[in-house]
Structure 1
Amino acid sequence: MSVDVISLLWRTAPPPRRGPSRGLTIDVVVEAATRLADASGLEPLTMRALAGELGVAPMTLYTYVPGRAELLELLEDAAFLTMDRAGNSGPWRDRVLAVMEDNRTLYRAHPWLTSFEPGRPALGPGTIAKYEHELAAFDDCGLSDVDRDAALTFVLDFVRAAARSEARSSPETDEAWWATAGPALAQVLDPSSYPLASRVGTAAGEAQRSARHPEHAWRFGTARVLDGLAALIDG
């Protein structure tokens, strides 16, 4: 990440000195890019497609954003800036669960966010405000600064993985698939050769009407994440 990107993220970069603006600002460009990403994902989001959405020549965009890589960083940070943040009150488990639910809501609104590399966040005001708020969920937990950061990373990694799986599945189509695949598999699967897979898979499939149920996985996973943190915090 360059200094130029930091200045774009924090809106300290000077406005473009040349080129037709047609009333554009960085915020207008980012809002249009977000609409495109929400509609079709990141892959079709090119500078040319964005220029078409804004009704300008592609070269016009480069007077506002150096390129697609910088645009994506602006996009990520802007999404974080719009998050609703629950209050950091109550027991630590309630505070951390609120962080998890807030992030799940964000990923559901913008599924393309799961494509970003978590180890290289956009260091803009949205990202920093999010980090500050979420770290506070671990107040009074007796954690060192390093462990507090690691605990938050652990929580967010789970939410991101769950959101990615949920974005790639559809309960309706998964149920229809299982309705056909389940009986067909039962015809060829020998329970004596695969006793655990047969018993557990059948029980889970019948309960969930699918090989995987995102809501059940979420409830089970959040509880286990909190239980794991409790071993560190309450212990």
Structure 2
Amino acid sequence: MGARERSSAGDPVRTLELLWREPGQGGSARGPKQRTTVDAVVDAALEIADGQGLAALTMRSVAAQLGLTPMATYTYVPGKAELLDLMLDTVYQRMTRHDLTGMPWRERVSTVAAENRALLAAHPWVAYVPTTRPPLGPGVAAKYDHELQAFDGLGLGDVDMDAALTHVLGFVTSVARIAIDTARAAAESGESDHEWWQRAAPLLERVFSADRYPLAARVGAAAGQAHNSAYSADHAYDFGLARLLDGLAALIETSSG
């Protein structure tokens, strides 16, 4: 990932102007008659990133997708940094958001976690883009406002609400990366985790001593048998979310008490 492949790495004023454009007003007033729109440029970029990853995303590849020259593409978006913010905000705008009204708080938090897990499964590249400076567009605003509802009315202070949400999203992203990396390893190697371990087993049996590493041998064997692999993203998600909810419950109890 390049140094500028993080959110808010481009010109902040121009990025915000693009992020908050009126729906349907995605073109540029500069130059000759416009052949496309900012929305179409973003859609083309998303198709490339979703299918091939961010490494394949360049202004040239987006231009080719749209049948434009690279220079023409720059009349819609100043560069890749600004384009990346538009892409992030767009997937945030389009992600599924369930009505949290009336749900118990654990169900609300679990729903928000599931929504984000689905987003990262559909757009794996999002899991690897640093967003410590989030693109402050309408998609980010709508996502943040929706997700804070999971913690509203529980007695938490505003700072704790923000921290609790950050904790949940960080957990979801970390587990999503396990699933993404597992899928990539299988695709690049042409063999599943189970097949890889089967191929490595004869050598491991010769060099690994269960007497020397008794806990690693016992626990690793149990986990491997349970997951048919060293890791299971589904198990990590279910186990981790339950522990996360228990920890939040302690915080909520303390705050409300």
TM-score by length of 1: 0.95
Aligned to 1:46: 58
Aligned to 2:176: 163
Aligned to 2:48: 36
Instruction: State the distance in 2 between where 1:208 and 1:165 align.
Output: 13
Q: Tell me the alpha carbon deviations over residues 127-167 of structure 1, each in whole angstroms, 9 at most, x when there is no partner.
A: 11000000011011110000000000000001111111210
CA pair 186-20 structure 1, distance change in 2 beyond 3 A: farther
Instruction: State the distance in 1 between where 2:27 and 2:224 align.
Output: 58
Structure 1's unaligned 5+ residue stretches are none
Shift of the alpha carbon at 1:233? 0.9
Instruction: State the distance in 2 between where 1:210 and 1:28 align.
Output: 41
Q: Is the Cα–Cα contact under 8 Å of residues 96 and 138 in structure 1 kept in the other structure?
A: yes
Instruction: Report the AA paired with residue 205 of structure 2.
Output: A
Aligned to 2:4: none
Instruction: Report the AA paired with residue 149 of structure 1.
Output: D
Aligned to 1:196: 215
TM-score by length of 2: 0.87
Q: Is the Cα–Cα contact under 8 Å of residues 38 and 76 in structure 2 kept in the other structure?
A: yes
Matched residues, number: 234
Instruction: State the distance in 1 between where 2:226 and 2:51 align.
Output: 33
Residues 1:66 and 2:85 aligned together: no
Aligned to 2:192: 173
| Within-5 A mapping of 1:197-216 | 197-216=216-235
Q: Tell me the alpha carbon deviations over residues 41-66 of structure 1, each in whole angstroms, 9 at most, x when there is no partner.
A: 11110000100000011111111101
Shift of the alpha carbon at 1:184? 3.6
Shift of the alpha carbon at 1:38? 0.8
Instruction: State the distance in 2 between where 1:118 and 1:66 align.
Output: 20
Q: Is the Cα–Cα contact under 8 Å of residues 27 and 37 in structure 2 kept in the other structure?
A: no
Alignment root-mean-square deviation, CA: 1.6
Residues 1:117 and 2:123 aligned together: no
Structure 2's unaligned 5+ residue stretches are 1-7
Instruction: Pick the aligned partner of 1:81 from 79, 83, 93.
Output: 93
Instruction: State the distance in 1 between where 2:228 and 2:123 align.
Output: 27
Residues 1:16 and 2:35 aligned together: no
| Within-5 A mapping of 1:220-231 | 220-231=239-250
Aligned to 2:3: none
Percent identity over the alignment?
Answer: 51
Shift of the alpha carbon at 1:178? 2.0
Q: Secondary structure at the match of 2:63?
A: helix
Instruction: State the distance in 2 between where 1:166 and 1:197 align.
Output: 23
Shift of the alpha carbon at 1:176? 1.3
Q: Secondary structure at the match of 1:17?
A: coil
Q: 4+ residue stretches of structure 1 with deviation over 4 A?
A: none
